[in-house]
Each structure stands twice: as C-alpha cells, then as structure tokens.
Amino acid sequence: MRIIPAIDIINGKCVRLTKGDYRTQKTYHDNPLDVAREFADHGIRYLHLVDLDGARSKHIVNHRVLRQITSGTSLQVDFGGGIKSDEDVQIAFDNGAAQITGGSVAQQQPELFLQWLKRYGPERIILGADSHHRKIATLGWQKESEEHVIDFITAYEQKGVRYVICTDISKDGMLQGPSEELYREIIATSGIRLIASGGITSLADLQKLRTIGCEGAIIGKAIYEGYIRLNDLQAFIES
C-alpha cells in the first residue's frame, strides 16, 4: 500500500482544514517545500498536494508551489484543487505533477473528464470521489449532490478509470479513524485501485486499510499533530 502524505495549500502555506471548512484553517508551515523535503528524507515517495485556493477559485492558483516541490524533491505528486479546464490540466502536468485528481469536474462535466482520461491515460488521471453521508460532494466540498459515492465510482470504472481517491468528509481532519466499511464496500463491488483519505490517525488504521486492500492511504493532520511520526511511517513502508 502506498503511503501518501498530504499538503494542502492556502496563500502558499501548508494548512489543514476540518471537514473541508475553510473557517477551521490551521497553518502548520510557511514553506511547503521544507515539509515535502522532510517527507522525502524519511523514505516517502508520494505526495498528495491540494490547492485549496484553487478549489475555491475554480482554477489552479498555487502552481508555483507544485513546481517548487516537483523540482526540489523526488516525490511523485498527485495534484488536485481547482482543475476545471484543459488549461488547468496542462498547467499541472507542465509543473511536474505525476497525476491529477478531478472531483467536481467529474461530477459536473463528465464529458470533459473523460476526454482527459482518454488523452492522458488512466495512470495519470485520478477520480476524486469525495462524499458526505455517502453522497458525492463538489466545489471544495461546499455542495452536496444526490449521487451515491459507490454508484459514482462504479460508473466511472466502466468508462476506464483505474484510480480513485475516496474521502469521507465527515472523517476528514477529525482524527477518529477512516471509513473502513465504506472502503470495504467499494473494494468488494469494483476492481478499482482505491486510495483512502480522511480520518487516518494511527499505524493501526494504516494496517487495517492495507488488510482491506486499499492501494494507497493519504495522511494529513495525523502527521502534523504528531499522532503518526515520520520515523514510524518509514518503518511501516519498509515492513
């Protein structure tokens, strides 16, 4: 299972939100590149980088931070937040992203998302399936649809999607454990490569997700608040 720390960006700084609420913003570091380098120094190979300014503005904003990290580290970066157009996708890849995640656009402009899937291939395009009470949420989690998350995922799998990041918004930033049952259901009903996100608090959570069959796990606040130490993550990766 891939271990994927998260860096969320507002105004060029490393922050975290709780349940996607911008009013809960907490800044952890002024220089995301320093954070990324520390991850790489501990044997981590992957990074989930989210442009929260972009998510709110509906276009990429923090592409310079992406470039700094991809040029200043060996991390393979999945980039999301504000990717709404062909130009946004090109900006992300031009600035070194290995993969991009599309969530709102996949729900609201499926034809455009499928064009990206065809043009760049399923190894580079990740479906973002963010849900609240198992309903897909979009626009930086500010809008909830009526579409069930499992239906959303299975429909896109049939159209060629291989990778899905699924975040349970009710778990995000709460440090109360991930949505194991939801992930079990997704894996049982699809052949998707599932990346779990939201609520991961301990190495025990990671072990459970690995046992379930998740392809990856995104960890955010648990690292910044000291619940999971980078040295322990390094040992987990090597185990």
What are 20-70's pLDDT values in tens digits?
788 899 999 999 999 999 999 999 999 999 999 998 899 999 999 999 999
d(CA 81, CA 61): 9
Domains of the chain: 2-238 (3.20.20.70)
CA distances from 128 to 11, 71, 104, 161, 195 (A): 23, 25, 8, 11, 10
d(CA 36, CA 31): 9
The residues, any chain, with a CB within 8 Å of residue 139's CB and separated by 6 or more, are: 55, 58, 104
* CA atoms 169, 171, 174, 178: torsion sign: negative
Verify whether residue 130 is a known catalytic residue: yes
Counting runs of H as helices and runs of E as strands, what totals does the chain give?
11, 12
Burial of residue 74, with CB atoms counted within 10 A of its CB: 0-12 exposed, 13-18 middle, 19 or more buried:
exposed
pTM of the shown model = 0.94
Verify whether residue 86 is a known catalytic residue: no
pLDDT tens string 117-163: 999 999 999 999 988 888 887 654 455 556 899 999 999 999 999 99
- Count other Cβ atoms within 10 Å, centred on residue 158: 9
Name the catalytic one among 8, 51, 88, 172. Answer: 8
d(CA 90, CA 84): 11
Name the catalytic one among 53, 78, 130, 168. Answer: 130
pLDDT tens string 168-208: 887 777 678 999 999 999 999 999 999 999 999 999 999 99
